[in-house]
Structure 1
């Protein structure tokens, strides 16, 4: 690659954490990814980073006869490789592939990024409502798609996302980079305010909210709930005392974390939703929430941001 293009710089990484840090730092134009890495759950974070940066990438197979780790790729429409390369391919083929993908039309950035990078917590939003979100597998990209639809003065928003412990801080940085609202990692005893999104991901404590106003975040140690720490059920259950001021949703994910807590919220007067099957990467958590009656309505990911914001005005 370096001999084929004057001035090009090639970086190497033998683990996803290194690759993620490099991508965040230098914002690469293209990435060749060993197919084995795409099998890891944490690769979802890499895909979200590539998407945010409009970095083209392709998986490199062990051989042309090998089955791709990901038969369908959620980033194909954002410049990911459609035809896999093999480790046995000649370097010229890698150069040709690089050439083809880099010269392909870039997407329209204005559809994915906030109008301004200024992170000021606006006070124009006068709603008393709080938005709660739970997500798991496929949730990184879902959150990215949803939160870019939130204005800078969005209602206070609190999220639990299942992710690897080493990638929680990276998720917060990634979302804060592309969202108009201020995105922060969950901390203990922080007062909720419009224009701020609190995310618990990869943490060792459960995230909840205090019942009295002004509501504050609460981090609490304890065993896994519904198989997870932090747990969506723990967050939802903590908000039952003020459920009438809650708008909550469960996004794509495996298992059933959040379905029980969402049902408690709905019975107590909250407005509740679940992502629909067609737009979910894994229709597990949303399916259980729909089948047990916890969600009042199923909503596509494309309409979720608008649905949540509109519910806060009701």
Structure 2
């Protein structure tokens, strides 16, 4: 590639963490990814970063006849990079694919009115509640889809996303890149403020709410709850005393984390939602929540941001 394109800068990475950090810093136009990497759960973060930067990518198979990861992964099946090369292909084929993908039309980036601090201008306000979100497999892209529609002055929003232990900070910076509100990692004792999104991901502590007002984040060590740390159930259950002030949803993901807590929230007067089957990468957590009556309504991903914001004003 370097000899075919004089002046091109090529980065090499032998693990996903290195690849993620290099991509975030260099913002490459294209990436060749060994297919084995795409089978790792954390590759969801890589895909979301590529999407945010409009980086084109293709998976590279070990040999002809290998079964690509996308054949068994619902996440890859709906994402980019669905064509494969193999390590035995001639370099000219790599160059040809690179040319084709890089020269394809790139999407336009929408611009928003900016304030002096670089954030988009505030939207009209309304009655403030708390928004709670739980997600797992496929959730990174779902969160991007939702948070890009949140205004600068959105209600305090708390998110638990199941992800690898080394990718929490990357998720925060990724979401902060596209969200008009300020996205920050969940930290113990932090006061909840409008215009802020607090993310618990890749940590060994559960996120919850303090037992008295003014509300603060409470980060607590402990065993897995519903199979996870941090746990969506832990967050939802901690918010039950403030149920009437809560809007909560469960997004795409495997398992049942969050369903029990969402049911408790609904009984306490919260407005509760679940992502619908059609727009879910994995219809596991939302299905359990819906089947047990924890969610009042199923909502498509394209309508989720508006639904949550509208519910927080009612």
Q: Is 1:16 the equivalent of 2:16?
A: yes
Question: Which residue number corresponds to residue 262 of structure 1?
Answer: 262
Question: Which residue number corresponds to residue 183 of structure 1?
Answer: 183
Q: Secondary structure at the match of 2:142?
A: helix
8 Å CA contact retained: 1:256, 1:288: yes
Q: Secondary structure at the match of 2:97?
A: helix
Output the CA distance in 1 between the equivalents of 2:297 and 2:74: 28
8 Å CA contact retained: 1:272, 1:297: yes
Question: Which residue number corresponds to residue 303 of structure 1?
Answer: 303
Output the CA distance in 1 between the equivalents of 2:208 and 2:148: 24
8 Å CA contact retained: 1:200, 1:230: yes
Q: Secondary structure at the match of 2:69?
A: coil
Q: Is 1:61 the equivalent of 2:61?
A: yes
Output the CA distance in 1 between the equivalents of 2:175 and 2:309: 18
Output the CA distance in 1 between the equivalents of 2:240 and 2:149: 26
Q: CA deviation at 1:126?
A: 4.4
- Tell me: CA distance 1:73–1:285, structure 2 relative to 1, closer, same or farther (3 Å): closer
Output the CA distance in 2 between the equivalents of 1:53 and 1:161: 21
- Tell me: CA distance 1:29–1:76, structure 2 relative to 1, closer, same or farther (3 Å): farther
Bigger Cα displacement from structure 2, 212-221 vs 66-75: 66-75
Output the CA distance in 2 between the equivalents of 1:307 and 1:287: 19
Q: CA deviation at 1:83?
A: 2.4
8 Å CA contact retained: 1:209, 1:215: yes
Output the CA distance in 1 between the equivalents of 2:40 and 2:3: 32
Query: 1:258-290: per-residue Cα shift (whole Å, max 9, x none)?
Result: 000000000010000000011111111000000
- Tell me: CA distance 1:180–1:114, structure 2 relative to 1, closer, same or farther (3 Å): farther
Question: Which residue number corresponds to residue 96 of structure 2?
Answer: 96
Output the CA distance in 1 between the equivalents of 2:290 and 2:149: 24
Question: Which residue number corresponds to residue 47 of structure 2?
Answer: 47
Q: CA deviation at 1:125?
A: 3.1
Q: CA deviation at 1:73?
A: 7.3
Output the CA distance in 1 between the equivalents of 2:180 and 2:230: 25
Query: 1:44-91: per-residue Cα shift (whole Å, max 9, x none)?
Result: 00000000000000000112211110137767888x334211111000
Question: Which residue number corresponds to residue 289 of structure 2?
Answer: 289
Question: Which residue number corresponds to residue 155 of structure 1?
Answer: 155
Q: CA deviation at 1:115?
A: 4.7
Bigger Cα displacement from structure 2, 18-27 vs 101-110: 101-110
Query: 1:169-228: per-residue Cα shift (whole Å, max 9, x none)?
Result: 000011111110000000011111110000000111110012433211100111111011
Matched positions, count = 311
Q: Secondary structure at the match of 1:118?
A: coil
8 Å CA contact retained: 2:206, 2:235: yes
Q: Secondary structure at the match of 1:154?
A: coil
Output the CA distance in 2 between the equivalents of 1:73 and 1:224: 26
Output the CA distance in 2 between the equivalents of 1:199 and 1:30: 29
8 Å CA contact retained: 1:59, 1:84: yes
Q: Is 1:214 the equivalent of 2:211?
A: no
Output the CA distance in 2 between the equivalents of 1:121 and 1:165: 34
Question: Which residue number corresponds to residue 246 of structure 2?
Answer: 246
Query: 1:274-313: per-residue Cα shift (whole Å, max 9, x none)?
Result: 0001111111100000000000000011110000001011
Unpaired runs of 5+ residues, structure 1, are none
8 Å CA contact retained: 2:203, 2:230: yes
